[in-house]
């Protein structure tokens, strides 16, 4: 929340100032009008990462259906947009032809899109409409693979992601080397430096961590927490999450027939089954102690991976005795639940902030690429918005609290996180009150919190970072009081 003019209102005004300034430039005007329209559209979340990082699998896991990838010609570099719609539909946008509707083949688990006849380089975007609750508030974007940075330190795919998306799920295997350089290249702007709040770093394919042991997912979560404590990593994202898209998707689409097969495998002793899970070929073609056709085994490996088969059989053997129980446990262990909660907390709940950030970045990029008389005043207005936007400060505070950089004890850190909107952005969520609490009760809680944190903000014995963190919390409390005074709940 912004005390005074709201962030989205300030950005809306800046965009219209830019439209007036560039009124004689049709290309710039078209781009600016698109930015104005985006303020009212669902949040755009791009899923980005290097080759074989599991982008499409994770997208399917988030949606709960197998709709990706839309396989274009080799080397096509297509961006595929998944948005909510009344019925399955796909539209191709080429570099030289009008938009064309594509044939969509729907199956029991998802869909396939027919791209026969298109050549590499012809298609730029494919827009897929798919009726699902997961796309009501966000549009998901499947992107071409990142291949590191060029000699100028730029990643062309990432450049377009930063132009067209509001937030990013960046998939990495180890959060080192070229992946960090790609993310660092996205911060060479004023907006990127002032508001690095639109990236969640995902330690992908977490089930393969440490050679794919049964405790691989636990190890991956510990590694993700360790990575976030690295200042270089925490400066580039709002959080890190370990997630196996493969296991998450398997849990979300697990069928009764899948469970029946796994129940058969669970009847084999762990030691005996392990001998058959040393390789996919051995599992599919070898002599198993239970009668399972080779094609059934192959489908199971394709769905779960060897590591997932091992884990699922163990879970069935130790108490997950129904499809529902096994599906829920696979989803929980995959890290998908944590990832979706992080997306809701840092992206969906903050969608106006992130869309405003994207608009500011677009204005800055335009001023850089096509400077015009009067552009200095527009740039100054953008800088004032960045400097005064409390929404960005809250997100940076939440990131610092998660990394334990401020040194608050656990109780204080939890209260600061809650008041800054880390547990939800509603007034009751922030104040730890019941959702039917009266306005008077909310006012009392906000006033008490304001004075507590004001004392910390002015305490000379606290470290500077702690005092500055407390100032952000005080500003959040002021915003809540202003909202209550205006009649909000």
pLDDT band at 153 (very low <50, low <70, confident <90, very high): low
Q: How far apart are the first and last CA of the chain?
A: 13
Most confident among 148-152, 225-229, 302-306 (mean pLDDT)? 302-306
Q: Pick the range with the lowest mean pLDDT from 35-44, 104-113, 334-343, 441-450.
A: 104-113
pLDDT the model gives residue 213 = 67
pLDDT band at 1 (very low <50, low <70, confident <90, very high): very low
Q: What is the pLDDT of residues 170-213, one digit of tens each?
A: 999 877 778 888 888 777 778 887 777 799 999 988 777 766 56
- Select from 290, 323, 356 the last residue of a domain: 323
Number of domains in the chain: 3
Q: Could you give the CA distance from residue 448 to residue 471 in angstroms, rounded to a whole number?
A: 15
Q: Is it true that the peptide bond before 440 is cis, omega within 30 degrees of 0?
A: no
Q: Could you give the CA distance from residue 297 to residue 292 in angstroms, rounded to a whole number?
A: 7
Say whether both 19 and 138 belong to one domain. yes
Mean pLDDT of 68-88: 79
Say whether both 213 and 261 belong to one domain. no
Say whether both 198 and 297 belong to one domain. no
Q: Identify whether 57 is part of a domain.
A: yes
- CATH number of the domain to which 42 belongs: 3.40.50.300
Say whether both 236 and 161 belong to one domain. yes
Q: Identify whether 52 is part of a domain.
A: yes
Q: What is the pLDDT of residues 305-344, one digit of tens each?
A: 888 999 999 999 999 999 999 999 999 999 999 999 999 9
- Select from 267, 299, 323 the last residue of a domain: 323
* Closest to 345 in 3D by CA, of 238, 256, 455: 238
Q: How far is CA 30 from the centre of its chain?
A: 28
Q: Could you give the CA distance from residue 440 to residue 437 in angstroms, rounded to a whole number?
A: 8
pLDDT band at 70 (very low <50, low <70, confident <90, very high): confident
Q: Could you give the CA distance from residue 335 to residue 228 in angstroms, rounded to a whole number?
A: 16
Q: Could you give the CA distance from residue 99 to residue 40 in angstroms, rounded to a whole number?
A: 23
Say whether both 57 and 143 belong to one domain. yes
* 260-295 exposure pattern, b = at least 16 Cβ within 10 A, e = fewer: ebbbbbbebeeeebeebbeeeeebbeeebeeeeeee
Say whether both 348 and 293 belong to one domain. no
Say whether both 413 and 451 belong to one domain. yes
Q: Could you give the CA distance from residue 436 to residue 458 in angstroms, rounded to a whole number?
A: 33
Q: What domain range is 31 assigned to?
A: 1-64+132-244+335-405
Say whether both 161 and 184 belong to one domain. yes
* Cα atoms found within 13 Å of the Cα of residue 149, Cβ hemisphere only: 15
Q: Identify whether 467 is part of a domain.
A: yes
pLDDT band at 159 (very low <50, low <70, confident <90, very high): confident
Q: Identify whether 124 is part of a domain.
A: no
pLDDT the model gives residue 173 = 82
Q: Could you give the CA distance from residue 182 to residue 427 in angstroms, rounded to a whole number?
A: 37
- Select from 292, 323, 354 the last residue of a domain: 323
Q: Identify whether 370 is part of a domain.
A: yes
């Amino acid at each position: 929340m912004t005390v005074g003019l709201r962030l989205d209102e300030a950005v809306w005004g800046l965009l219209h100032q830019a439209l007036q300034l560039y009124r004689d430039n049709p290309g710039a005007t078209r781009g600016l009008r698109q930015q104005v329209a985006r303020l009212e559209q669902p949040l755009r979340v791009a899923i980005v990462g290097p080759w074989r990082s599991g982008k499409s699998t994770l997208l399917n896991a988030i949606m709960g259906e197998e709709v990706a990838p839309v396989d274009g010609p080799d080397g096509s570099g297509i961006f595929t947009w998944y948005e909510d719609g009344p019925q399955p539909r796909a539209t191709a946008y080429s570099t030289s032809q009008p938009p064309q509707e594509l044939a969509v083949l729907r199956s029991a688990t998802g869909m396939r899109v027919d791209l026969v006849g298109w050549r590499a380089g012809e298609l730029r975007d494919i827009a897929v409409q798919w009726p699902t609750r997961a796309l009501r508030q966000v549009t998901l974007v499947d992107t071409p693979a990142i291949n590191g940075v060029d000699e100028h330190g730029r990643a062309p795919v990432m450049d377009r992601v930063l132009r067209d998306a509001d937030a990013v799920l960046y998939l990495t295997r180890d959060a080192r080397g070229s992946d960090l350089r790609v993310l660092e290249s996205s911060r060479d702007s004023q907006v990127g430096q002032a508001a690095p709040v639109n990236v969640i770093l995902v330690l992908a394919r977490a089930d393969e961590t440490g050679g794919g042991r049964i405790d691989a997912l636990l190890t991956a979560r510990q590694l993700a927490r360790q990575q976030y404590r690295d200042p270089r990593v925490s400066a580039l994202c709002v959080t890190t999450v370990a997630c196996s898209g493969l296991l998450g998707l398997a849990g979300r689409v697990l069928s009764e027939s899948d469970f029946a097969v796994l129940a058969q495998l669970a009847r084999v002793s762990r030691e005996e089954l392990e001998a058959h899970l040393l390789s996919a070929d051995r599992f599919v073609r070898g002599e198993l102690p239970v009668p399972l056709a080779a094609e059934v085994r192959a489908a199971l490996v394709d769905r779960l991976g060897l590591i997932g088969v091992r884990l699922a059989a163990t879970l069935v053997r130790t108490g997950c005795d129904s499809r529902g129980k096994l599906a829920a446990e696979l989803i929980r262990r995959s890290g998908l639940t944590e990832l979706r909660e992080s997306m809701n907390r840092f992206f969906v709940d903050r969608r106006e902030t992130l869309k405003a950030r994207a608009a500011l970045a677009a204005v800055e990029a335009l001023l850089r690429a096509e400077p015009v008389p009067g552009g200095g005043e527009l740039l100054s207005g953008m800088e004032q918005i960045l400097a005064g936007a409390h929404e960005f400060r809250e997100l940076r505070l939440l990131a610092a609290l998660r990394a334990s950089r401020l040194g608050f004890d656990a109780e204080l850190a939890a209260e600061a996180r809650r008041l800054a909107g880390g547990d939800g952005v509603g007034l009751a969520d922030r104040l730890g009150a019941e959702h039917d609490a009266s306005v008077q009760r909310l006012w009392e809680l906000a006033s008490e919190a304001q004075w507590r944190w004001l004392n910390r903000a002015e305490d000379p014995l606290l470290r500077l970072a702690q005092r500055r963190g407390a100032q952000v919390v005080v500003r959040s409390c002021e915003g809540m009081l202003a909202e209550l005074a205006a009649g909000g709940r």
